[in-house]
Structure 1
Amino acid sequence: MFGTSGIRGPVGEKVTAALALSVGRAVGMDTERVVVGRDPRESGELLTDALAAGLRESGTDVCDVGLAATPTVARAVGWEDADAGVSVTASHNPPQDNGIKLWQPTGQAFDAPLREEISERVRTEAADLRAWDGLGDRTRVDARERHADALVDAVDVSDPPAVVVDVGNGAGGVTVDALERLGCAVETLNAQPDGAFPGRPSEPTAEHCRSLARLVAEGDADLGIAHDGDADRTRVVAGDGTYLSGDVTLALLARAAASDGQQVAAPVDTSLAVDDHLAEAGVTVTRTRVGDVYVADRVAEDGVAFGGEPSGAWIWPDATLCPDGPLAACKLVELASERPLTDRAAEVDTYPIRRDSVETDAKTAVMERVRARVTDEYADVSTLDGVRVDLGDGWFLLRASGTQPLVRITAEARDPARADAVFAEARSVLSAARE
């Protein structure tokens, strides 16, 4: 029922009020106080009401933060001395979807054992319903103000830059609050919350952020910030209008967060450019499975100063184990206030990455054969998430899609010809496994 990013799917099909009620009852079985919040999707109101009803039926008090960024919800769990948090959001998914994501008091998402426990309770319709005089209360809590305060306290911006913030019609308005308090001249795009996402699709890709890039390039702004629907993701446009890749952004944020001898957590498909840029500062990369849940697991370990995914999820463990898009925005503004992001990005070498997907109805069996062959033929192999082969001057990753009948191929090297050769080698390994 739960993926690594919680429950997500079409409203009225996979995601219903009945499901939200059941999840509320399941979470309420061993909690006394729970924070709930939602993104702007219209369905979020009824799903939050159903979820809160299930919690209150179980005797659990509900702290309702209303329309709020997902990191605001996650942080509020600790602030309110609650046992858990629930975000009603489908994050960067399209408007027809919604979802439910659960948070621990540390700000970390529910891990696999906790998700499985809730799933089992929902499947078995387990509940501990209380009598009329034992119901939980529902109170409204303003966590946005406290989140903004925390963001301002987390950075030092002595020369505030001009910023364009593309909120994406989502819940990330707290970013605007914080940047204005920091003294930035802020211009907004798509700032009106609207779960239909009329301004642009929720996912802040380069294509979807063309208006932001154009506005930054043609105006006086020093950088542009873009969020997805629930603001757990942040992407950035440099002052010349260049949309920075996720790998370059990861390299910049990680270099600022980590010091000599520390580690940075990043998934297995992260570019060598990040390793090379951080190595100059004595920082190493520890790789995780793809998914911010797994990055959060790793950054909770000693010696890991920062974690990020090129998709736009950034985690500072000394602040929260939830990807905090508004915090990332403030950290990027801090960097830009000291030195233009265009100049910083120019110092990150970028390498050619080749990607493709191959259809197969037997992806599990194919990947088992890939794993067996690669383990025999190559010296440096990781099976953490798919099969990743490190060739020293390049690498390739063969990884089954979690949602489609596909095996994805990724290959990278430091020059184009070698990248082509590594990609061909990876394709050959996969072709042999499909025979």
Structure 2
Amino acid sequence: MSKLFGTDGVRGRANQGNMTAETALRLGAAAGQFFRREGQGASAHRVVIGKDTRLSGYMLENALTAGLTSMGMNVLLLGPVPTPAVGLLARSMRADLGVMISASHNPPEDNGIKFFGPDGFKLSDEAETEIERLVHDGVAPVPADDIGRAKRIEDGRGRYVEYAKTTIPSGMSLEGLRIVVDCANGAAYRAAPEVLSELGATVIPIGVDPNGRNINKGCGSTHTMAAAEAVVAHGADLGISLDGDADRVMILDASGTVADGDQLMALFASRWATEGRLNGATLVATVMSNLGLERHLAAQGIALQRTKVGDRYVVEAMRQGGWNLGGEQSGHIVMTDYATTGDGLIAGLQFAAEMVRTGRPAAELMHSFTPVPQRLENVKYEMGARPLDKTEVRTAISAAEAALSGKGRLLIRPSGTEPLIRVMAECEDPALLDRVVDDVAGAVRASA
């Protein structure tokens, strides 16, 4: 069996490779073994499982349940809920483990499995490595009398909805705001419109008709044109565009212009620093975040702590440093005052609350700094190929780094969730920027 865990759990094409019912069953059994507490009665072992709206979610949910119950774990099935809801409910329901079945922003044909510990946070690399070892080595199921039970929890979404509303100031109403919310035909297709409506906003929901095969398809945070068109057509004040599992967000102003995660982090960091709420005067972001963000924060005395790509690594750094705000350019916004992982809906609520608090339109709030010109090129390659090991690719990267020396930066990395090499560069000179990205991307493409 090949390596299972990537940047964000286990992910792949459904019913193929590592994303089959058999592998899910073995993962469930291995996770059950890892999280069992010795000396506890059978009723003490508890797992919550959420999912997005992919057709393959049914298959994986049943397989994971079989594996977990075979190890004596009692499974509580939440149904379609956002990823952050699993972290929240794993902790509030005193579970040993939380599981989210989702491939996030990936196409409908993919799926994935993410694990949360009893504290509601994603697992460490060390924990994932041990679970993977147990998958490979196998585990011994419990005796028949100790097999776990499974049942549906009908109010899981409702618990999350009620909690999300508490994250904006008590008594604040969103009345008067017209908000388009694009739920990507995904996990938040009911929760997000409910939260916004119950807080008083006039809500125009789109991407709320999942059929198992249309999650993220032409909608959501990776396809913001749908939200942009709806914002303009309905004269909305704000657009909130979520991804398939609602752990990331893009914000749109009244003209349909999009702000990425860097701009949101800049806004929140400045506000929290002014209020004395930004722990350690530090924001945590990844190596992908724009140099303009770093400069903007530095001018206010705010440090930017960078991590490798993946909201899990952002959260790990935040916990280690005692910092409470972080995220990714891609729209993961992590506020550990409110959630254990990225939460697109709560980030959107914080933005809407800032509009109400200041009386300023979205267009003013979502442009805190001028980004340094940045270009990202994703180059596909065949599974099993190792383009970054090729001499011609290493030569192209060295030449690009030399050309950018003192003028910008280059970042080359393989995706942790898809067979892609991501080629990103930043430079004040647009012509040089295009040349180095084209050269490196071309070399990768030719070698793949």
Which band: TM-score by shorter chain? Answer: 0.7 to 0.9
Give the counterpart of 2:66 among 34, 43, 53: 53
Corresponding residue for 1:385? Answer: none
Q: Kindly provide the CA deviation profile for residues 41-69 of structure 1, in whole angstroms up to 9, marking residues without a partner as x.
A: 12212221221121112111112111211
Unaligned runs of 5+ in 1: 379-388
CA shift, 1:419, in A, is: 4.8
CA shift, 1:249, in A, is: 3.0
> Is 2:182 aligned against 1:166?
yes
Secondary structure in structure 2 of the residue aligned to 1:304: coil
Unaligned runs of 5+ in 2: 37-44
> Is 2:327 aligned against 1:315?
no
Instruction: Let me know the Cα RMSD of the aligned residues.
Output: 3.2
Corresponding residue for 2:14? Answer: 11
Structure 2 letter corresponding to 1:319: Y
Aligned pairs for 1:247-266 (under 5 A) are: 247-258=262-273, 259=278, 261-266=280-285
Q: 2:266 & 2:313 partners in 1: Cα distance?
A: 19
Aligned pairs for 1:134-283 (under 5 A) are: 134-141=146-153, 142-156=155-169, 157-160=172-175, 161-172=177-188, 173-197=190-214, 200-201=217-218, 204-205=221-222, 208-258=223-273, 259=278, 261-283=280-302
> Is 2:365 aligned against 1:344?
yes
Secondary structure in structure 2 of the residue aligned to 1:229: coil
Change (3 A) 1:202 1:25: farther
Structure 1 letter corresponding to 2:246: A
Secondary structure in structure 1 of the residue aligned to 2:271: helix
Q: 2:213 & 2:266 partners in 1: Cα distance?
A: 33
Q: What TM-score do you get using the length of structure 1 for normalisation?
A: 0.85
Secondary structure in structure 1 of the residue aligned to 2:348: helix
CA shift, 1:367, in A, is: 11
Aligned pairs for 1:269-308 (under 5 A) are: 269-308=288-327
Q: Kindly provide the CA deviation profile for residues 84-104 of structure 1, in whole angstroms up to 9, marking residues without a partner as x.
A: 101111211111122211111
Q: 2:420 & 2:187 partners in 1: Cα distance?
A: 33
Change (3 A) 1:117 1:210: same
Secondary structure in structure 1 of the residue aligned to 2:321: coil
> Is 2:367 aligned against 1:363?
no
CA shift, 1:3, in A, is: 0.9
Give the counterpart of 2:121 among 99, 104, 108: 108
Q: Kindly provide the CA deviation profile for residues 79-132 of structure 1, in whole angstroms up to 9, marking residues without a partner as x.
A: 11011101111211111122211111233212211111111111122233221x
Are the equivalent residues in 2 in contact too, given 1:222–1:336 (CA < 8 A)?
Answer: no
Between the two proteins, what is the percent identity of the paired residues?
35
Corresponding residue for 1:412? Answer: 426
Secondary structure in structure 2 of the residue aligned to 1:301: helix
> Is 2:28 aligned against 1:24?
yes
Change (3 A) 1:143 1:408: closer
Q: 1:56 & 1:180 partners in 2: Cα distance?
A: 38
Change (3 A) 1:159 1:23: closer
Q: 1:25 & 1:88 partners in 2: Cα distance?
A: 16
Change (3 A) 1:25 1:406: closer
Are the equivalent residues in 2 in contact too, given 1:411–1:426 (CA < 8 A)?
Answer: no
Aligned pairs for 1:64-103 (under 5 A) are: 64-103=77-116
Q: Kindly provide the CA deviation profile for residues 185-240 of structure 1, in whole angstroms up to 9, marking residues without a partner as x.
A: 111112123321178346522xx221211221232311011111111121111122
Q: 1:251 & 1:415 partners in 2: Cα distance?
A: 24
Secondary structure in structure 1 of the residue aligned to 2:16: coil
Are the equivalent residues in 2 in contact too, given 1:94–1:201 (CA < 8 A)?
Answer: no
Corresponding residue for 1:399? Answer: 413
Change (3 A) 1:12 1:406: closer
Secondary structure in structure 2 of the residue aligned to 1:116: helix
Q: 1:35 & 1:400 partners in 2: Cα distance?
A: 31
Change (3 A) 1:347 1:326: closer
Change (3 A) 1:48 1:357: closer
Q: Kindly provide the CA deviation profile for residues 362-391 of structure 1, in whole angstroms up to 9, marking residues without a partner as x.
A: 514659978x979xx99xxxxxxxxxx984
Change (3 A) 1:96 1:343: same
Structure 2 letter corresponding to 1:175: A
Q: 1:159 & 1:98 partners in 2: Cα distance?
A: 35
Structure 2 letter corresponding to 1:16: T
Structure 1 letter corresponding to 2:204: E
Q: 2:225 & 2:121 partners in 1: Cα distance?
A: 32
Corresponding residue for 2:350? Answer: 331
Secondary structure in structure 1 of the residue aligned to 2:118: coil
Q: 2:252 & 2:95 partners in 1: Cα distance?
A: 37
CA shift, 1:72, in A, is: 0.9
Q: 2:249 & 2:198 partners in 1: Cα distance?
A: 19
